[in-house]
Structure 1
Amino acid sequence: MCGCHELLQHTALQPKTESNAVPLSSPHRRRRQVKLEYDNDDAVLPVKTERWEPPEWRKQLGFIREMRSSRDAPVDSMGAEKCYDTEAPAHVRRFQVLVSLMLSSQTKDQVTAAAMQKLRAHGCTVENILATDDETLGKLIYPVGFWRNKVKFLKLTSAMLQKEFGGDIPDSVEGLVRLSGVGPKMAHLAMGIAWNQVSGIGVDTHVHRISNRLEWLKKPTKNPEETRKALEEWLPRELWSEINWLLVGFGQQVCLPINPLCSMCLNQHSCPSAHKTSPTKRPKAGSPRSPSPTSSFKAKTEPGSAVKDERIKEEPLPTPVSPTTHRRKKTH
């Protein structure tokens, strides 16, 4: 009995001794297994969860607020939130906000405001736009940039609003970008102004340019939509509705597209682009550069950018509007 017991003990222990001998003969294998477990545990640590943000953005934003405190840039008095009829029904007001945003693309605020004034006098409602012939509508919105295309967009958008939304504008970004001539920038601005909802940052050429100059982005962006996504990754949401009008007015008065007024800027000592050469792409000779009489400062008026000058070249005078001499006088 004693011998059997010893045999059983020997048999039970033998496989364990043999199995233990395998990993012991492969020390590298055992170390690799331990290392893998350590690496996996280490990967879970929240080392990379810190949100990236520009080093001096709060100070720079504070200075921009200070420079914009007088609220006397063109966008402050003639932006989309100033162009609708405050006495009109709510759905008409929302439609007029959308129309002003559509007209503002590639167009100065002064020109957009004048066009909206004429449209409102004519009757800026979905029904009136649809009842107005293209020639008359062209006269009303001229000389906004790409006015011929915008006549088509206004008609197509009005038809869709009447058919699918009961004459009101959609209350979502997804619905707004379905409309002809409406992109993400307009959609987010319309959500904020018309519906009082913060859906995203409205990024135009000013916000795009200034964000890149201040290096408020992890890497340079190529277009406003890329800038919007990059800003929304780190900028606190409570600032999304404010950042557009702040930077647009700042871009109209100080951080100009060509020859920015760095010596007047409170951020000149922290801005990575301060006092550097302006972009090589400049307006062609003879392009309109005269300041607007409605601007508060002659030295702080947004000059025509290269993009706008190209637009003027591409857009010939319309047949409905004949006084070519008048346009030449305005643009020099």
Structure 2
Amino acid sequence: MSAARPGLRRLRSAAGSGGSQTQGRPGVPRQSRRRKSVAIAYEAGQGEGAEPRRARWEPPRWREQLQHIRDMRSSRDAPVDEMGVQTCYDSSAPPEVMRYQVLLALMLSSQTKDQVTSAAMLRLRRRGLSVDSVLQMDDETLGQIIYPVGFWRNKVKYIKQTTAILKQKYGGDIPSTVEELVQLPGVGPKMAHLAMHIAWDSVAGIAVDTHVHRISNRLKWVKKETKSPEETRVALEEWLPRDLWKEINWLLVGFGQQTCLPVKPRCSQCLNQDICPAATRL
């Protein structure tokens, strides 16, 4: 094996096989006995003499920690379970209306408690919440309905702008990719990934909010401390098995609402108390 090309081995094909041709003379076999080296790539750790496969990084005891969180969340009685976005839309509505309601609930939920978002969505739905009904609504009326969600004035503007785009560009439906969703006014990565999960039943990435961001850093589920939810999403997706991506959001959000609080976390009530890197200093 060449030290300069780890993971590659060279197989040599005999000259005169009929495939080699002399430059400038098509069809004339080479007369030389020189052999030509052909590089064959294979997976690291495969083949004779290959270096062992390097193990993917993962945090110590994370499976045990995750199972403990599942156990603590088994009752599903956190605010996110009872009043989260997945409960805010009309499941009997036409699919495109349902998806629009999911996106609207996500836009309202930013920096807003689930209880407040749920109440605002209920008021909107009582008016027949759809793309057309929102476009026909003036800004003042929309503001009165969604108040007191966080930053409600900005959200009125974003909702009207996004709804107009959905009507003009998507026929009243919502985009079906994260790339398109984040181009809508007022829609960030977390909302986009949750919209894919809930509205399209598609897992394009991990939805990371402040709870997931905070808990992932406390448990050291990231190689190094991350400064934003988006950094945390990228760090988690590097090692967390894909079949857990959809589950991790609702698990950690509810856990963060009930036990691993932003201030004064209830470590004494946590099953991870003895294996949490942050428990001794919180």
The interval holding the TM-score normalised by the smaller chain is 0.7 to 0.9
State the distance in 2 between where 1:153 and 1:121 align: 21
1:139 aligns with 2:103: no
Match of 2:182? 177
State the distance in 1 between where 2:126 and 2:132 align: 14
Ranges in structure 1 where 5+ consecutive residues have no aligned partner: 1-36, 278-332
1:240 aligns with 2:248: no
Match of 1:64? 69
- The alignment partner of 1:40 has SS state of coil
Ranges in structure 2 where 5+ consecutive residues have no aligned partner: 9-49
- The alignment partner of 2:176 has SS state of coil
Match of 1:96? 101
| Residue type at the aligned position of 2:155 | K
CA offset digits 1:154-179 (Å, max 9, x no partner): 00000000000000000111111111
1:85 aligns with 2:90: yes
State the distance in 2 between where 1:180 and 1:208 align: 23
CA offset digits 1:47-86 (Å, max 9, x no partner): 5742110110000000000000000000001111100011
Q: Equivalent residues in 2 for 1:274-313 (5 A)?
A: 274-277=279-282
Q: Equivalent residues in 2 for 1:29-68 (5 A)?
A: 39-42=3-6, 46=51, 49-68=54-73
| Residue type at the aligned position of 1:40 | A
TM-score, normalization: structure 2? 0.83
| Residue type at the aligned position of 1:142 | Y
Change in 2 beyond 3 A, CA 1:220/1:193: same
State the distance in 2 between where 1:188 and 1:42 align: 38
State the distance in 1 between where 2:253 and 2:281 align: 21
More helix, by proportion? 1
Q: Equivalent residues in 2 for 1:254-269 (5 A)?
A: 254-269=259-274
**Distance apart, 1:122 and its partner CA:** 1.6
1:203 aligns with 2:203: no
Match of 1:313? none
**Distance apart, 1:40 and its partner CA:** 2.0
- The alignment partner of 2:126 has SS state of helix
TM-score, normalization: structure 1? 0.71
How large is the Cα RMSD of the aligned pairs?
1.3
1:120 aligns with 2:125: yes
Higher Rg: 1
The number of residues matched between the two structures is: 241
**Larger CA deviation: 80-89 vs 201-210:** 80-89
State the distance in 1 between where 2:55 and 2:168 align: 47
CA offset digits 1:113-166 (Å, max 9, x no partner): 000000111221111111101111001100000000000000000000000000
State the distance in 1 between where 2:58 and 2:150 align: 36
**Distance apart, 1:43 and its partner CA:** 6.5
**Larger CA deviation: 114-123 vs 258-267:** 114-123
**Identical pairs, percent:** 66
CA offset digits 1:182-213 (Å, max 9, x no partner): 01110010001000000000000000000000
Q: 1:158 aligns with which of 163, 169, 188?
A: 163
